[in-house]
């Protein structure tokens, strides 16, 4: 058994060196390119920003990340909560579980997040059918 391991290790090392030999850049190319870079003029980066040319960056606020979720159930069994979450996921909607309550012994099943509340309202019948609940609640969900 030891011989098989030694042969396997040698084979692995040979393949590693083979791969490095063919795919690793040549050392002479690295030296010449770094020497060429050193002989060129230095690149000066202006730290002053012009607001008219600053279109590639956008400022986001916390309200840009507001989403909506539908809380379908609050269950005391994590197994049942996972089964219900899987049922909702198989129905085509994203779903997740979070602990709920002061003692963290309850499990809330949420459907979403959705970009708008209308996404939930337009699909409420299908969501209620998949989640087996008619008493859900739509709420904001922030990252």
63-142: CATH architecture: 2-Layer Sandwich (3.30)
Read off the pLDDT of residues 76-114 as tens digits, 9 standing for 90 and up: 999 999 999 999 999 999 999 999 888 888 999 999 888
What pTM was estimated for this model as a whole? 0.54
- Rounded CA gap, 91 and 84, in Å? 11
Tokens 């809380």 locate to 71
**Segment holding 96, helix H or strand E:** strand 95-100
The domain ranges of the chain are 2-39, 63-142
Q: Are the beta carbons of 110 and 71 closer than 8 angstroms?
A: yes
Of 101, 125, 102, the residue nearest 111 (C-alpha): 125
Q: Are the beta carbons of 136 and 128 closer than 8 angstroms?
A: yes
């Amino acid at each position: 058994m030891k011989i098989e391991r030694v042969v396997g290790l040698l084979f692995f090392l040979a393949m590693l060196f083979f791969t490095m030999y063919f795919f690793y850049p040549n050392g002479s190319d690295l030296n010449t390119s770094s020497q060429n870079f050193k002989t060129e003029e230095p690149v000066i980066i202006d730290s002053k920003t012009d607001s008219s040319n600053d279109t590639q960056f956008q400022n986001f606020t916390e309200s840009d990340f507001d989403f909506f979720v539908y809380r379908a159930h609050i269950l005391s069994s994590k197994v049942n909560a996972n089964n219900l979450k899987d049922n909702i996921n198989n129905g085509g909607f994203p779903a997740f579980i979070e602990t709920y309550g002061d003692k963290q012994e309850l499990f809330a099943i949420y459907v979403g997040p959705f970009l708008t509340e209308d996404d939930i309202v337009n699909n409420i019948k299908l969501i209620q059918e998949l989640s087996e609940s008619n008493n859900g609640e739509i709420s904001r969900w922030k990252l």
